[in-house]
Structure 1
Amino acid sequence: MDQLPDQPPPRPKKLQADFNPDRPASNRFGRRLQRIRDEVERNRTVGPKYPTWLLALVLIAVIAFFTLIVIYA
Structure 2
Amino acid sequence: MDDEIPAGQPAPKPKASDNPDKPRSNRHGRRLQRIREEIERNRTEGPAIPTWVLALTLVLIIAVMTALVVYS
TM-score bucket of the superposed structures, by smaller chain = 0.7 to 0.9
Normalized against structure 1, the TM-score is what? 0.75
- Distance in 1 between residues matched to 2:28 and 2:63, nearest whole Å: 46
Give the whole-Å Cα distance in 2 for the aligned partners of 1:52 and 1:16: 43
Q: Is 1:52 matched with 2:51?
A: yes
Whole-Å separation in 2 of the counterparts to 1:49 and 1:24 = 29
Matched, 1:39 2:33: no
Report the structure number with the largest CA radius of gyration: 1
What's the % identity of the aligned pairs?
59
Structure 1: which 4+ aligned runs deviate by more than 6 Å?
A: none
Q: Does 1:17 align with 2:8?
A: no
1:17, distance to aligned residue in structure 2 (A)? 1.5
- Count of residues in correspondence between the two structures: 59
Report the residue type matching 2:41 in the other structure: R
Q: RMSD of the TM alignment (CA)?
A: 1.5
Structure 2 CA distance for aligned equivalents of residues 26 and 64 of structure 1: 52
Unaligned segments of structure 1, at least 5 residues? 1-14
TM-score w.r.t. length of structure 2: 0.76
Q: CA deviation at 1:16?
A: 6.8
